[in-house]
Amino acid sequence: MKKILWIFSSALLLSVGFFSTGCGDDETKLDPSVVITDEPDASDYAVGDVISFTVTATKGTDPLKAITFYQNGEKVAVEDLKIDGTTPGDAAILITDPKDEMEWNVDITLSATGDYDFSVKVEDTGGLTATANFIETITVGTPIDELIEGATIQLWNQAGPAGRGAIDLDNGTSTGTSASGGGLEAELRDMGIDSAEVNPDIEWRQRIGGINGTEVKYVGNVNTDSDFAGVVSKEAIVAAFDNGEDFVAANTLTEGGIAVWGNFKVSKKVEQGDIFAVYKSSPERYYLVVVENIVVETDADNNNDYYLVSIKY
């Protein structure tokens, strides 16, 4: 009897093993994939700017069912989002006709200052998900108030006619360097000529300095190592000033007869493309100035030389 029971038990175990092996587990499902391309490359953003990029999603095992857009871990506000040029009803978009692959052209309006990261999550009909993130955090600053540019935005040689030699950076108006010449409104000045130089073609020092207590720093040159057009926020102008190169005391320089200015801080010889940051304490304001062109008058000894500049603040 024991032998019969043993044979019966063994047969039962074999049959259970057979059915277990025969049914098997469900196949392992593959996750969907998602990638972000054409990411924006600007380094400075301001409120109101729009970032654009492309999202491409591909199914794993099951078709794609939904896509959701996140900003700092929360769904992007619908009013800030456009998908293929249209504002969706929600940042979580249901794909009503599930697809194997999809591509979306995305625009997000940066509506507040701060640091932001963005991510995109796709989900398939089986509930599996995949997420892609921007590589870097985006810092959104305060938009600049003014961009002043044009052929008449000139900082003239200080040794020229009266009423020239400085510039009011608030409106781009040329002024003199004295109170009677409107100089009290100026934030930037030219440093005039070397009166000991006998060659009128090179007597212009082509150096600049602050006026009325402003501080000026050299930021860089657009032709080599800096940017002007790409600066769109006030915070970026402040950063340019903080990281700028200090001007030096005139009496440390041996050329151009500038040493007579003593401890007054002056620039190196200005070149086309140079960018300067200017700080005024009252009312507090930071300016960014780029030298678009330098016009040197050589036909006559009249000191009608000038820098053509653009200003933003």
127 and 168 housed in the same domain: no
Whether 14 is in a domain gets the answer: no
Using alpha carbons only, give the angle 203, 205, 209 rounded to the nearest 5 degrees.
155
Domain count, the chain: 2
246 and 101 housed in the same domain: no
Distance CA(180)–CA(175), nearest Å, equals: 10
Q: What is the pLDDT of residue 51?
A: 96
230 and 265 housed in the same domain: yes
Q: Which amino acid is at 78?
A: V
- Residue keyed to tokens 């391309």: 37
CB-based contact 76:91 (threshold 8 Å): yes
Of the residues 141, 168, 187, the one at which a domain ends: 141
Query: Pick from 107, 5, 124: which is nearest to 55 by CA?
Result: 107
57 and 176 housed in the same domain: no
178 and 275 housed in the same domain: yes
Q: What is the pLDDT of residue 5?
A: 38
- Residue 132, classified by CB atoms within 10 Å of its CB into exposed (0-12), middle (13-18) or buried (19+), is middle
Tokens read off for 45: 């953003």
Q: What is the pLDDT of residue 14?
A: 38
Query: Pick from 68, 75, 54, 74: which is nearest to 122 by CA?
Result: 68
For 286, residues 6+ apart whose C-beta sits below 8 A from its C-beta are 234, 237, 238, 241, 277, 278, 279, 280, 313
221 and 303 housed in the same domain: yes
Host domain of residue 61: 33-141
Whether 206 is in a domain gets the answer: yes
135 and 211 housed in the same domain: no
Q: What is the pLDDT of residue 198?
A: 83
Reported as type and span, the H/E element at residue 21 is: helix 2-23
Of the residues 86, 113, 141, the one at which a domain ends: 141
Q: What is the pLDDT of residue 85?
A: 97
CB-based contact 32:58 (threshold 8 Å): yes
Phi, psi of 238 (to 5 degrees): -60, -45
What residues of the chain score a pLDDT lower than 50?
1-24
232 and 156 housed in the same domain: yes
76 and 198 housed in the same domain: no
Whether 7 is in a domain gets the answer: no
Phi, psi of 97 (to 5 degrees): -120, 85
194 and 255 housed in the same domain: yes
Tell me which DSSP letter residue 93 carries.
E
* Residue 109, CA distances (Å) to 12, 46, 112, 131, 144 in order: 68, 10, 9, 21, 17
